[in-house]
Structure 1
C-alpha cells in the first residue's frame, strides 16, 4: 500500500505537480518524499515535475527537492515554481501582454565599475546543458547557455546573455553597468531579470504562452522591455 502523508503527486496533461501540505515542516516533507519515492519511485520514473502547489520554499530548499527527485530517483524536474490549476485564455496578443505585464522597474545602486573597465568582455563562456536549481554561472563577459535555466538557478554576466532554451530562474546581464546589454531566450519567464542597474520581477499570475519565436529583453526608456525577436 502506498504511504499516506503530506506530499502527493498530482497529474496534469503535461506532467505531474507536487501537492504539499503547507502546515508540515520542510524536514518532514523531505523525509516523507524520500520514503514515498523509495516505495514507488519506479512508478513515477519517466515522469516530469512541472510545479509545486502548497508551501513556500527557498532556492536551497528547492535545490534539495530537485536533487532528491532527479539525482536519486531519475525523475525529470522541469519546474518547482508555484503551480496554477486554472489556465486563462489570453484576450490580447502575447506581445502586448509581455510589454505591459513584464515587470515594474526598480533602479538599484549603480556599480562604480563600468563595462569599459573590463578588457575580458570580448570573451564568451558557453554552458552546455540545463542549469538546475541551486546552480549558478558568473562571468565577466558574455554567456551562452545551451539549455534551460530552471527555477532556483542563476546566470550573471557583464555582457549579453543568450539562452538557447527557457529562462525560469534568475538572470542578470550587463552586471557591471552596461545598459546596452541584452538577454535573448526561447522563452523568458524568469523569477527575476536584471539588466545593468534595472531590476524587474514578472507578476505571479503571468500566464504568457510559449511560442517558437525567441524573446529579447533590453533597457528602453528607463525600463526593461521584453519583445519578440522578429
Structure 2
C-alpha cells in the first residue's frame, strides 16, 4: 500500500510525493509526523511537491508544515527531477517506496548524494545513485541506494546497496554493524554484527556465488568473513 506521503532525496532537492487518493487530513498528519521525526535533518533543504492537492488552501497547508521545519519551497525542482532517473514513476500507481529502473552499471556511472550529518532512528534515505554519509547511521535508520553506500562513521541501521539489482555495489563503513545488510538481491541479518568491535573500515561485497562477504578495507588480508 502506498504511503500517504513519501519523501525522496535527489541531487536537486527533496521531492515530496502525495497520494491524492488519501483523505487530506491523513496526508497532512502523515507529513507532520515525518517532519517531526526528522526534526532538524531537513532544515535548509529545498523541496517541491509531486501530485500535490488541487485546492490552493490544501497546498498552502502542506507548504506551511514544511516551512515550519526550515525547508525552502522551490517548485521548479519537480521539473528538473522529471528529466532525471529519480525514485518515482510518472505512473503514480507504482508504490511510492519502490525505486524506479536504472542502468545496471550504476556503480560506475551514478550521481552521488552527500549526507552531511548522521541519520537517526526513523530517518530514511533513498537515492538512485551512490550515497555517502558523513556521520553515523543509527539503529532504526535506513539507507537505500542503486550504487555504493559509504558511511564515514558507524553503520548500525539497515543498508541496501545495489537496490536496482546491481551485484557490483559495495558497502563501506568505518564500523560495519548493521541490523540488516543487502546488496543486490542478497540479504544478511547476522547477530554477529552486534559483536563486531573492528576499529578499522570494512567493506561488504558479493562473491561470485552471491554470498555477502565482509573484509577490512585497504588491507592485505587474503580472506573476508562471510555474513
Q: TM-score, normalised by structure 2?
A: 0.49
Q: TM-score, normalised by structure 1?
A: 0.48
